[in-house]
Structure 1
Amino acid sequence: MSASKWFLREPSPESATRLFCLPYSGCGASMYRKWPRFLGDMEIVPVQPPGRENRFREEPYGTFEALADDLVEVLHPYLDRPFGLFGHCGSALPGYETAVRLMEKGYPTPDRLFVSSQVAPHRGPHGRFLEMSDAELADEVHTLIVQLGGKPRPDLVDLSLEILRADVETNKRYHPDEPVRLPCPITALGWDQDAEVDHRLMDSWADCGETTFRVLEGPHYRFMEAPDDLMDAFLADLSA
């Protein structure tokens, strides 16, 4: 399996720590283009799953478990220094599942798992996207493209809708009865104006491992702007 297509750029050998970031539902790795490449000596490494952007001709994964099975093998050569995993909303769940797979395989585990705007896996699936029609999801895609600074052309909306629908269906299938407790600490990030996932619903992440809870300022999509309080949380918690 070629690792190169999983990254927009090869992880730097100069970084002291790495933060691997999974893209938001319906998006590809370029959604992190407003984020810095480095926070001090911590490198931000966006991950590109199949089925989106430069990999749009590939079949997307139908389960988070299957995604995690392959992703751990891709990441393994780059886990030679402290690292973290980050996912927001739907992508927080494959982030968690990837941490589980790393533990099960005896590979290095994250120094910190960051989960943003998502309930713990055994409390889901959760969110209004799960019950939306394609027309309603298309409206959300339109909003998301604008948030990312793009122009919502009909062809782009249609392609993004296909990806988002696949991600939503994968989310629906993911509901472990009992959470696997991770050996690594977790930071659960809520947002005080989030209309999608109330930060108070994130308390059950404590069932998945030692958890630090942070409530940041802003709505659901604010994370895409690389706000200072989010970057500060990465530096404080991954360094710890």
Structure 2
Amino acid sequence: MTPGSATTAPGTAASSPWLVRPLSTDRPARLFCFPFSGSGASAFSAWPAAIGDVEVCPVQFPGRENRLAEAHYGTYEDLAAALAEALEPHLDRPYAFFGHCAGALPAYEAAVLLAERGLPRPDRFFVSGQPAPHDDAGDRMLTMSEPELRGELEAFIRGRGIEPRRDMVDVGLHVLLQDQAAARAYRRAEPAPLGCPIVVLHWRDDPEVSLDRLQGWRRYADSVDFQVVDGGHYDFMAAPATLLGVLGFA
């Protein structure tokens, strides 16, 4: 083995900085999962490694967690272009995208790019708690001051059962501010249909995003299915059984 090279375990594909673990070559399908603003792939750490025969593949954006030393992705358009390139080698079997909140937007743009390049489209595109790209998201956090965002972040960390340290909050706030800038800069003027079924998930106890505000997704595919899931905006992180049932490939 030459210096700096790495071995790949049997039954796994080569590792990528965009994926938190090497992909299995044995699973017949994959579910790529995209985190919300200010977060990383650890948002899916409680999810099982597979849902039935479908491998769960959390995606790690640059500029956070184990990629904290890397430059931030900049805009959703730049992120989507990098995602399309990074994921292309792993589209050798049926796959789906799952994007929670703002994570659904670069995931959507990446899916559009893949289709434009003649590459395999997702079998399904799952949207969780995020209005359509051409609609105003109405996200109250986009209008918050930095002190307000710090307080929001501290409350979120406490809600996960962790007492927030100053250094932890400083790092998280730095990531969140850059992600929020990307979210403010993004707006798609006209829908580009995905050419695959879309499943839109509404969290019943979500005070931020109503079912009505998700209806704009009807313009993005011929088949758009709306599913109401018990829980609040961040309850997807615990991988509740009702959510996993919706996501399982038939």
Question: For residues 129 and 46 of structure 1, what CA distance do their matches in structure 2 show?
Answer: 24
Counterpart of 2:228 in 1: which secondary structure?
A: strand
Counterpart residue number, 2:40: 28
The percentage of counterpart residues that share the same residue type is: 46
Counterpart of 2:127 in 1: which secondary structure?
A: strand
Spell out the pairing of 1:86-165 with structure 2 (5 A cutoff): 86-165=98-177
Q: 2:246 aligns with which of 229, 233, 236?
A: 233
Deviation of 1:146 after TM superposition, in Å, equals: 3.1
1:11 aligns with 2:23: yes
Question: For residues 3 and 166 of structure 1, what CA distance do their matches in structure 2 show?
Answer: 26
Question: For residues 80 and 95 of structure 1, what CA distance do their matches in structure 2 show?
Answer: 18
Q: 1:213 aligns with which of 226, 231, 236?
A: 226
Deviation of 1:200 after TM superposition, in Å, equals: 1.8
1:198 aligns with 2:214: no
Alignment check: 8 A CA contact 1:125 1:175 kept: no
Aligned CA-pair RMSD: 1.4
Specify which structure has the higher proportion of helix: 1
Alignment check: 8 A CA contact 1:119 1:201 kept: yes
The verdict on how the C-alpha distance between 1:107 and 1:3 changes in structure 2, with shifts beyond 3 A counting, is farther
The verdict on how the C-alpha distance between 1:3 and 1:173 changes in structure 2, with shifts beyond 3 A counting, is farther
1:73 aligns with 2:85: yes
Alignment check: 8 A CA contact 2:19 2:57 kept: yes
Larger Rg: 2
Counterpart of 1:138 in 2: which secondary structure?
A: helix
Question: For residues 159 and 22 of structure 2, what CA distance do their matches in structure 1 show?
Answer: 27
Counterpart of 1:141 in 2: which secondary structure?
A: helix
The verdict on how the C-alpha distance between 1:182 and 1:49 changes in structure 2, with shifts beyond 3 A counting, is same
Counterpart residue number, 1:174: 186
Counterpart residue number, 1:48: 60
1:83 aligns with 2:102: no
- Structure 1 unaligned spans of 5+: none
Deviation of 1:4 after TM superposition, in Å, equals: 1.6
Question: For residues 230 and 198 of structure 1, what CA distance do their matches in structure 2 show?
Answer: 18
How many residue pairs match? The answer is 236
Deviations 1:143-198 (A, max 9, x none): 32234444311111111111111111111111111010110111110111101111
Deviation of 1:75 after TM superposition, in Å, equals: 0.7
Question: For residues 59 and 131 of structure 2, what CA distance do their matches in structure 1 show?
Answer: 22
The TM-score with structure 2 as length reference comes to 0.91
The verdict on how the C-alpha distance between 1:68 and 1:74 changes in structure 2, with shifts beyond 3 A counting, is same
